[in-house]
Amino acid sequence: MTETVTPATVRSPSAPPALGGPGLFTVLLAAALPLIDFFIVNIALPTIGTDLHAGEAVLELVVAGYGVAYAVLLVLGGRLGDLFGRRRLFLGGMAAFGLTSLACGLAPGAWSLVAARVAQGASAAAMLPQVLATIQAATSGGRRAKAMSLYGATAGLSMVAGQILGGVLVAADIAGTGWRSVFLVNVPVVLVGLLLGARFVPETRSQRPEPVDGPGTVLLALSLLTLLAPLTEGRAAGWPLWTWLSLAAFPGVAVAFYAVERRADRAGRTPLVPPSLFELASLRRGLALMLPFSVGFSGFMFVIAVALQSGEHMDPVPAGLALAPMAVVFLFVSLAGPRLIARYGSRVVSAGSVLQAVGLVLVVLAARRDWPHLDFTALLPGVAIAGAGQALQLPNVLRLVMSEVPPARAGVGSGVMVTTQQSALALGVATLGTLFLSLVPHQGMRDALVTTLLVQLGLVVLTGVLSLRLPRTVG
């Protein structure tokens, strides 16, 4: 007897695989890990320095080594996912992230910790681009909009939660591990993620994968290294000659990278970062806004951590928990984001800039009024309002950037977006952090903090101006 097969009983071979609820949870868990680890060490650095007898320059490498390796390899990670399968790269990157986190937690000395952090950043670069690419390729319509909003909320919350979690873990001193627990905590999370990912994350890849763009990969890596390495290490190292030579080389290397990519794009090949991708107004304008936002965000987190611990002499837990209102408000406001953006469009992002500016002004006023007794209560109104503003900006901008990227280029698009975000986060620590630490000996901790926050306020105003150029509707 022949069975009748109806369209409902068979899936079209051309239909994309679906990303269900457990799969979405898994990729969002993976999205949180690299961002948490970028910020979790801010609170732990003083303890690491004492335990490993590490100087300031080496401690900055613990942060910068991770951030630079992560930023440099992100676009390549996205291309490899398009080529070999995003699920395969996702699981491989997650496994490597777990192993390198273990190596960080067991590092016997400062330089072995730096090496493990560089490897951890490279692992994150293999894993994270697959998250956005999988969402883009395995969802559509309302499900994609919801998934992108949740991704944005996860990204923002992870950056704040990382700093809070760092303080709690260092103070808890679980089984005598001290600062090592901020890395070891990743291991069980990764094991859970691998089990869920193997079962629930669908395999997707580009239908027309292109080989890796060797010249473009090398030139992009050199561009980011010549910019980020001297900025992150220059102040602690005393601005030696190599830092100035590196910064002087950056414009030339960047121009060479663009020329090589444009030539490949015009020849019909798919370069590492296709210039034609920037013809999408949503991507181009969204990335322009993401730069000052991320620079200000990461700079604020670093400066507050240093000011509260070194200036106010807070223990790790109070210093981390001082930002808890920002995390809580960010979470609840970001959950309302999809409804707000559907009703008001990108004007929500502009409103977020205004709220963040108000929050920063309140933090500045609190610092001027209450120093050297700046505590949780004094900071609460400012950080809460700033968190609400950030929640109206970041998730919606991330969603907008990817809204018009075709699924075939999902890996490239996600790699470009996350590279922009990560490079800006590293720049924020390098520039605003350097400004703050350079001002402290001359102005004192309070005035250095106020000056740096006012510079960040200028960046927030810039994001507000740029938000006016965003496409009015968000897909």
Please report the pLDDT score of residue 8 as a whole number: 35
Tell me which residues of the chain have a pLDDT lower than 50: 1-13
What digits encode the pLDDT tens for the residues 226-252?
988 888 778 877 889 999 999 999 999
15 alpha-carbon distance from chain centroid = 31
Which among 107, 99, 100, 128 has a CA at the least distance from the CA of 44?
107
CA distance 313 to 315: 7
Please report the pLDDT score of residue 15 as a whole number: 55
CA distance 64 to 67: 5
Please report the pLDDT score of residue 94 as a whole number: 95
pTM of the model: 0.80
Cβ contacts of 431 within 8 Å, gap of 6 or more: 231, 295, 299
CA distance 228 to 452: 20
CA distance 177 to 169: 9
CA distance 339 to 353: 18
**216, 36 contact by CB (below 8 A):** no
Please report the pLDDT score of residue 174 as a whole number: 82
8 alpha-carbon distance from chain centroid = 41
Which among 290, 251, 261 has a CA at the least distance from the CA of 75?
261
What digits encode the pLDDT tens for the residues 109-141?
989 999 999 999 999 999 988 888 888 778 877
CA distance 151 to 331: 12
CA distance 41 to 64: 11
